[in-house]
Amino acid sequence: MSVRNFLQFHFSSHRKMRQSIKNIFGFYPGNIFLYKQAFRHKSASLEHKSGLRINNERLEYLGDAVLSLVVADYLFKRFPFESEGFLTDMRSKIVSRASLNKLSEKLGLKSFMHFSNTDVRQMKSAGGDAFEAFIGALYLDRGYRFTKKIIFKRILDIHFDLDQLEHAEISYKSKMIEWAQKTKTNLDFKVIEEQTIQHRKQFKVGVFVQNKLLAEALDYTIKGAENLAAEKAWKILAETE
């Protein structure tokens, strides 16, 4: 490929992604390279000369935290008289891997994603991961207030029916128990730590498979921490199948 053709391809690719993000989310991105990284799966990592592998895992980590905070804020304001347990359950339903995978598919994010040729069919949770990485990129690019606005107006208000979601049942703990019974695997949920932050107690729960810690999560209730940890464990199991 000539330099001219390379530059044309490079910048036309940028324009296409910028316009697609505008069409889906209602804004033009600033730093397009953040968004490109958000859609680069670890199977297609680029290697920096420092040895650092460039993919969307760090952005996914950041986006997960930002999304959880924004959803908590949204639910707190939408349901001013509901209990902490209700809010925790609703948040879990919205940010669950299955929910984010469906959302990613609905938004058409798969067309932006980069995989290796060999691993693409194994990446069952790649869509949800990419959406979280996108939120991480958005946060770095435009800040928290703008990110919150986009999630409220372009995601939660449009793509989630909270009345329907309120009555939907989702329990990753039950899924894990069913899997353990089916595969005759030893499974246990244990509170491994209690923390008090600003006079509020939080519980860290671990999911142990064959007496080995598979995943852990922190929440204000044991039930909430169990389900969050179970979701993480379920995701790990799905990726290893």
Q: Which residues are catalytic?
A: 64, 132
Relative orientation angle of helices 84-95 and 57-78, to the nearest 10 degrees: 140
CA 162 → CA 36, 70, 94, 169, distances in Å?
31, 15, 9, 13
CA distance 222 to 186: 20
Place of tokens 């938004």: 107
DSSP for 114-127 reads B--TTTGGG-TTHH
Q: Which two tokens stand for residue 91?
A: 């948040």
Q: Name the percent of the chain in helix, strand, coil, to the closest 5.
A: 65, 15, 20
Beta-carbon contacts of residue 7 (< 8 Å; ≥ 6 apart): none
- Determine contact, residues 21/28, Cβ cutoff 8 Å: yes
**Phi, psi (degrees; rounded to nearest 5) at 206:** -110, 145
CA distance 166 to 217: 23
